[in-house]
Amino acid sequence: MKILAIESSADETAAAVVENGTKVLSNVIASSTAMHEKYGGIVPEVAAREHLRSIIPTIDEALSQANVDMSAIDSLAVTVGPGLIGSLLIGVETAKTVAMATGKPIIPVNHVLAHMYANFIENTIAFPAISLVVSGGHTELFLMKSEQDLEWLGGTLDDAAGEAFDKTARLLGFGNQGGVAIQQAAKKSLPITLPRPLMHDGSLNFSFSGLKTAILREWKKQETHSEKFIQSLAYEVQEAITDVLVAKTLRASEKYKAKSILISGGVAANLRLRKKLPSAIAPPINLCTDNAVYIASYAFFRGKPVDWHELTAVPDLSVEV
């Protein structure tokens, strides 16, 4: 079964063709991240305009790289939320048009739940599994009893872990490069200690907004910001975030007697997190950040086709399944 998936929830326009949920025939991503650099974050209107420009060429390229045409595609899949309304609409309306024109089934996909199916591409998962989805907008823990059976266990009460990385990166002068820049700069030479919010509270929730305030306090304490200070702050931020993520994931794993631990989402690309959770299954780095491969994979394992007339973008689509 070959699925053509489309993803446009943030600033990446992506399309992919995946066979039986695991065999990647193509994976094409056009990003407008660089265009948002001078604004210090994603500008929704700019992202939407870029999606509009890129979406057809991206789909064409995904079919061409997979060496198939539409007649070989069994089903379409598209991200319907959560995400930016202007961005989502471009993907959803394009997918509806293709469904109408070709008569192919179409599967709506929840972007956040889909992230965890990046783990299915190269791995066989033993259930029950604990799955941490950690991205720019989400930090969520799920219990996976099977490929289809998900239960939301907890999530962030305020900011996502990726947001904490991104805001710190901007403060330290790394622009929109986010967590990767923090990872590259991280080097301990000066003693800085940041809090590990909710680490020992016994719940499966997270909170990262207090950490942001603490980081700002450290920054303001110094009159000048030497390279050593920036490296040390980057180090401690990465330690604080990853310590909390690891502690909560392991707690969930013990509580539910998990046979495997999965991590996914952009922050799962973080090498320190991967090192601190050696037993966890993680997608290849390029499948952690946004792409359409896991959209197709989710659609294969858990998706249900709908009539294209019923497909709508839902910017605040819930992840609490």
Q: Which does 171 bind (CB under 5 to 8 A by kind): Zn ion, ligand KG4, none?
A: none
Q: Which does 110 bind (CB under 5 to 8 A by kind): ligand KG4, Zn ion, none?
A: none
Instruction: Decide whether 75 or 289 has the Cβ nearer to ligand KG4.
Output: 289
**Contact between 235 and ligand KG4 per CB under 6 A:** no
- Among 7, 289, 308, 317, interactor with ligand KG4 by CB under 6 A: 289
Q: Which does 267 bind (CB under 5 to 8 A by kind): ligand KG4, Zn ion, none?
A: ligand KG4
Q: Is the peptide bond before 191 cis (omega within 30 degrees of 0)?
A: no
Residue list 161-200, contact with ligand KG4 (CB under 6 A): 162, 165-166, 178-180, 183
Q: Of the listed pieces 57-65, 117-125, 135-143, 175-183, which binds Zn ion according to CB under 5 A?
A: 135-143
- Among 128, 186, 290, 295, interactor with ligand KG4 by CB under 6 A: 290
What is the C-alpha to C-alpha distance for residues 212 and 215, in angstroms, rounded to an integer?
5
- Among 119, 135, 207, 264, interactor with Zn ion by CB under 5 A: 135
Instruction: Decide whether 154 or 265 has the Cβ nearer to Zn ion.
Output: 265
Output the CA–CA distances (angstroms, integers) from residue 27 to 4, 19, 94, 287, in the order listed.
Answer: 10, 12, 18, 9
Closest approach of Zn ion to the CB of residue 139, in Å: 12
In sequence order, the 6+-apart residues with CB closer than 8 A to the CB of 303 are 77, 107, 108, 109
In sequence order, the 6+-apart residues with CB closer than 8 A to the CB of 30 are 12, 13, 14, 50, 54, 57, 58
**Window 104-143: contact mask with ligand KG4 (x via CB under 6 A):** -------------------------------xxx------
**Contact between 139 and Zn ion per CB under 5 A:** no
Closest approach of ligand KG4 to the CB of residue 50, in Å: 16
Q: Of the listed pieces 68-76, 94-102, 130-138, 223-231, which binds Zn ion according to CB under 5 A?
A: 130-138
Q: Which does 154 bind (CB under 5 to 8 A by kind): Zn ion, ligand KG4, none?
A: none
Q: Of the listed pieces 31-39, 66-74, 96-104, 131-139, which binds Zn ion according to CB under 5 A?
A: 131-139
**Contact between 267 and ligand KG4 per CB under 6 A:** yes
What is the C-alpha to C-alpha distance for residues 218 and 215, in angstroms, rounded to an integer?
5
Which parts of 50-202 are beta strand (E)? 75-81, 106-110, 129-134, 139-144, 150-155
Residue 143 in 3-state DSSP? strand
Instruction: Decide whether 12 or 73 has the Cβ nearer to ligand KG4.
Output: 12
Sheet holding 260-264, edge to edge: 150-155, 139-144, 129-134, 260-264
- Among 27, 87, 168, 270, interactor with ligand KG4 by CB under 6 A: 270
Greatest alpha-carbon pair distance for the chain in Å reads: 64
What is the C-alpha to C-alpha distance for residues 294 and 300, in angstroms, rounded to an integer?
10
Output the CA–CA distances (angstroms, integers) from residue 138 to 83, 232, 300, in the order listed.
Answer: 11, 26, 23
* Six token digits for residue 251: 């707690």
What is the C-alpha to C-alpha distance for residues 219 and 230, in angstroms, rounded to an integer?
9
Closest approach of ligand KG4 to the CB of residue 43, in Å: 16
Q: Indicate the burial class of 306 (C-beta count within 10 angstroms; 0-12, 13-18, 19 or more).
A: middle
What is the C-alpha to C-alpha distance for residues 16 and 5, in angstroms, rounded to an integer?
5
**Contact between 290 and Zn ion per CB under 5 A:** yes
Name the residues that contact Zn ion, by CB under 5 A: 135, 290
Name the residues that contact ligand KG4, by CB under 6 A: 10, 135-137, 162, 165-166, 178-180, 183, 265-267, 269-270, 289-290
